[in-house]
Structure 1
Amino acid sequence: MINQLEIPMFIEEALPEMPRELLTSKQNTAYDLLGSLTTFTCKNINDHNYRSVKRAFQIADKLYAKGNGVVKNAVENVFVYSFTRMFNTYPNEKKELLAILPITLYTIYMAQVCHKGC
């Protein structure tokens, strides 16, 4: 299982183009690190760099699959929670984003949306 201390190394190996300063902060909690991954993802959506966006989605998906409880919660409550904002900020890109979104993350997102709306 991946714990929060292993997240920076995991992301750095899988996504070397992510700026190092996003992975090094005074507080390297799982939530901060997933926030940095979200920032990176949004920047690449804005730049229409879907290859990097897809890799960021895949990294979050792997973190969710292999992470401990803290890591899973961070993926759900920071990364996946940001999807609504991503889709609203980039409405023209929503279809493209949904096409590259891993099914696990999409399922979590739909559960959040349906639960919030019930």
Structure 2
Amino acid sequence: MVNMTEEEKQQSIEAFLSIIRKSENALAHMKPGAPQTKLLEKRLKAARIGADVLHACWEGKDLDVSKEDLIEAKGVLEGLLLTLPSFLEKLKPGSGQRTYIERRIKAFQIAVSYLHDSVN
């Protein structure tokens, strides 16, 4: 994962930014305090940290996130990684949706790898 092209890096960042946008839009329509809202807030926080980690690693920036938040984000992203492959089975090879999920999986894997290095 260290040897990534600039295009692959950009696609990974864009995958996280897309997740963040979609989560923020969904959150705006949800009931505050509901279990689904809390879950989405947790996933949104993990996505933001994932994007920040990628930026920090690739651009040599400092990461201003607590170790506890890094550990939590890693766990959330690992959990999401377990669910994403099931979506691939339902999608036609070469379709835009499949490409989108594949890029999301790759972005999550990279972020989890960097998070693992950051917390150890």
TM-score between both structures, scaled by the size of structure 2: 0.39
TM-score between both structures, scaled by the size of structure 1: 0.39
| Structure showing greater Rg | 2
